[in-house]
Amino acid sequence: MKILVLNCGSSSIKYQLVDMANNAQVMAKGLLERIGLEMGEFTHKWNGQKHYEQVPIPDHTAGIKIVLNALIDPKMGVIKDFKEIGAVGNRVAHGGETFDKSVVVTDEVIEKIKALTPLAPLHTPGNLAGIYAMREVLSGVPQVAVFDTAFHTTMPPKSYLPRRLPR
């Protein structure tokens, strides 16, 4: 299975296409920056090669379309058809106490992530923008939300509780 991994921020999209059937090989990766400004920057890397261009990226949906078109491009693409993408993994900054592990994205999950926006107000809107964009562009592909904070739920109490100092 090939998984498109997204890390969408307020004005950027970082991505990797990973082939899980081939030892999690990174087939392509890249970065879109300056989303929403007059001119953005797009960098795409594949097979030891690199493409860079300045291009308008008005919003995250336009950015996702640029990424997907690069992945199937005859020159710099690494797949022939979008159907090769089996799932999308979305980095989400904060899951609060609601999410202690990765979850499949549903309408209910989106509403819960929205409710957690005050915990990461600079990151969550961008994270959600990526989820919405993928829903619009590749509607049939399952998405998973992967929460930065879920890692911390696996820590033993001695790792996060303060030590009592001797008196």
Catalytic annotation, residues: 148
Q: Residues with Cβ < 8 Å from 66, sequence gap 6 or more?
A: 32, 42, 55, 57
Three-state SS for 26?
Answer: strand
Three-state SS for 159?
Answer: helix
What are the structure tokens assigned to 143, written together?
């998405």
Three-state SS for 146?
Answer: strand
